[in-house]
Amino acid sequence: MPRVDSSELDTALAFLNFSRESVLKKTEGLDDGQLRRVLVGTGTNLLGLVQHLTHAERYWFGYYLTGAKHVRGPGSGMRVPRDRTTREVLDDYLAAIAASDAAIRAIGDPDAHLARLVDGKRMKVRWVLAHMTSETARHAGHADILREQIDGTTGR
Query: What is the extent of the structural domain holding 62?
Result: 8-151
Residue 85 belongs to a domain with what CATH number?
1.20.120.450
Give me the pLDDT at residue 155, please.
Answer: 80
- The answer to the question of residue 1 being in a domain is no
- State how many domains the chain has: 1
Please state, in angstroms and as integers, the Cα–Cα distance from residue 72 to each residue in 12, 58, 88, 95, following that order. 28, 10, 16, 15
**pLDDT digit string (tens) for the chain, length 156 residues:** 899 899 999 999 999 999 999 999 999 999 999 999 999 999 999 999 999 999 999 999 999 999 999 776 666 788 999 999 999 999 999 999 999 999 999 999 999 999 999 999 999 999 999 999 999 999 999 999 999 999 999 987
- The answer to the question of residue 3 being in a domain is no
- The answer to the question of residue 156 being in a domain is no
For 18, the 3-state DSSP assignment is: helix
CA separation for the pair 97, 132 (Å, rounded): 11
Element housing 149 (H / E): helix 125-151
- The answer to the question of residue 124 being in a domain is yes
